[in-house]
């Protein structure tokens, strides 16, 4: 009996998620942490602002001295940014002050330069200001010990700027998942080489490496092996030493040369069929403590399997938003196979502003139609119990 898509996703998650959770965090310089995810809560080590400072270019005064504006006050000096601790302000005097400069003791407001007229060593203030106006109090943004960023934050420029403003130079982020990619099949040749009779170019390696990187993982090993159990065993031995998860493609169906099945099934692998199209043959195993997730070898099946079963787990670790899923309206009727979740390839069509648009089916259901997949920007999900849908009916779509 075939396993459902949701059941197989749970099996894969049960194997892979604990391994990803065990990846140790890294401490990185701020710029290297761009796009990474904070491993834990980050508390501010200091008050921000660090000191009481001026929001404007103007004059630091006592609010009580300018209540009866217009008033003229003697200017006792100038406070520049980075001037150190300024002298205290004497009553009925003013100190010229620059934006960001420390507000002196005795002053409780800043009058913007636009509301003043300067003459020699005096300033005439045309309007009064309440206490606290244009003064940034120490800790008014955040207090030392308060939460600056919660764990699980994907670091963008604004986050790095806030961290830097507290004087921190490094941040602890979640580690990156290490994947090993193993494509199998005697028929595979490297793109760029001459393909002989019965041979095909290995597109699965490129697809899986690119998809892994797009999902926030790093690929530490990529190998192509023939239908040779000894060669596959040696490759898996190497992969287990450098990867958190091993992905294989091909060799798990019911033919005479199913090298992954032949090697791993006697070692406890679960090799079976999932009720989906394309991508029915699937396998899970543990090799030397490392999860091995095996996909079918047909190119569309490989790419679809990664998107359905592995990409969500990797994106969550990396802090990458999940694929957008929304309902759209079919532009044409579709037929599906009873008992299988169908993943058709579609292209979004524009709809009315603010409303979901339509979707057209780009290619047939075949698992070899790589050009059709390349021409699509959506997966169209047809549930297991549906055999046909008319044009105009709504369907779930996943953005690619």
> pLDDT digits over 149-199, tens only?
999 999 999 999 999 999 999 999 999 999 999 999 888 888 888 888 888
For the cut 80, the answer to whether the pLDDT of residue 352 exceeds it is: no
For the cut 90, the answer to whether the pLDDT of residue 110 exceeds it is: yes
51: left (phi over 0), alpha (psi -120 to 50) or beta: beta
Q: What number of other Cβ atoms are within 10 A of residue 294's Cβ?
A: 26
Structure tokens at 134: 């244009």
Which strand (E) or helix (H) includes residue 398?
strand 394-399
- pLDDT tens by residue, 293-310: 999 999 999 999 999 999
- pLDDT tens by residue, 379-393: 999 999 999 999 999
Q: What is the DSSP track for 27-83? A: EEEGGGGTT-BBSS-EE-SS-BSSS-EESSSEEEE-GGGSTT-SEEEEEEEEE-TT-
Record the pTM: 0.84
Under the banding of pLDDT at 50, 70 and 90, the label for residue 83 is: confident
Contact 294, 283 (CB under 8 A): yes
Query: What are the backbone angles phi and psi of residue 119, rounded to the nearest 5°?
Result: -140, 110
Res 366: pLDDT: 66
Name, in order, each residue with C-beta under 8 angstroms of 106's C-beta and a sequence gap of 6 or more: 62, 88, 89, 90, 91
Domains with residue ranges and CATH for the chain: 5-23+176-318 (3.40.980.10), 26-48+140-173 (3.90.105.10), 53-136 (2.170.190.11), 325-394 (2.40.340.10)
Q: Residue 301: which of 197, 379, 192 has the closest Cα? A: 379
For the cut 90, the answer to whether the pLDDT of residue 47 exceeds it is: yes
Q: Residue 36: which of 217, 303, 289 has the closest Cα? A: 217
Return the sign of the alpha-carbon dihedral for residues 375, 210, 224, 314: negative
Res 199: pLDDT: 85
């Amino acid at each position: 009996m075939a396993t459902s898509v949701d059941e197989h996703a749970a099996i894969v998650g049960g194997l892979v998620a604990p391994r990803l959770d065990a990846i140790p965090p890294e401490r990185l310089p701020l710029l290297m942490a761009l796009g990474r995810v904070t491993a834990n809560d980050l508390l501010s080590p200091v008050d921000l602002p660090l000191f009481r400072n001026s929001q404007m270019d103007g004059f630091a005064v006592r609010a009580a001295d300018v209540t009866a504006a217009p008033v003229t006050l003697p200017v006792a000096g100038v406070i520049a940014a980075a001037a150190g601790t300024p002298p205290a302000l004497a009553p009925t005097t003013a100190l010229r002050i620059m934006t960001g400069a420390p507000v002196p003791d005795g002053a409780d407001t800043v009058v913007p330069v636009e509301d003043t007229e300067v003459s020699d060593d005096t300033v005439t203030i045309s309007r009064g200001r309440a206490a606290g106006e244009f003064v940034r109090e120490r800790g008014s943004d955040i207090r030392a010990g308060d939460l600056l960023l919660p764990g699980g934050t994907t670091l963008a420029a604004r986050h790095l700027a806030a961290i830097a403003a507290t004087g921190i130079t490094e941040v602890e982020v979640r580690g990156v998942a290490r994947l090993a990619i193993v494509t199998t099949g005697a028929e595979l040749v490297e793109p760029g080489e001459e393909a002989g009779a019965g041979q095909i170019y290995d597109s699965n390696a490129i697809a899986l490496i690119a998809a892994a990187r797009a999902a926030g993982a790093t690929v530490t090993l990529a190998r192509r092996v023939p239908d040779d159990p000894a060669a596959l065993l040696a490759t898996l031995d190497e992969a287990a030493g450098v990867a958190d998860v091993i992905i294989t493609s091909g060799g798990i169906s019911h033919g005479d040369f199913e090298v992954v099945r032949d090697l791993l099934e006697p070692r406890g692998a679960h090799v079976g069929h999932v009720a989906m199209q394309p991508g029915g043959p699937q396998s899970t195993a543990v090799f030397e403590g490392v999860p091995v997730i095996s996909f079918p070898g047909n190119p569309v099946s490989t790419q679809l399997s990664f998107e359905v079963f592995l990409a969500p787990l990797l994106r969550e670790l990396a802090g990458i938003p999940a694929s957008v899923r929304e309902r759209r309206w079919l532009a044409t009727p579709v037929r599906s196979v009873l008992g299988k979740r169908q993943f058709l390839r579609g292209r979004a069509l524009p709809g009315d502003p603010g409303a979901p648009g339509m979707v057209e089916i780009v290619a047939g259901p075949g698992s070899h139609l790589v050009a059709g997949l390349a021409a699509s920007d959506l997966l169209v999900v047809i549930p297991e119990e549906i055999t046909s849908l008319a044009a105009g009916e709504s369907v779930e779509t996943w953005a690619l």
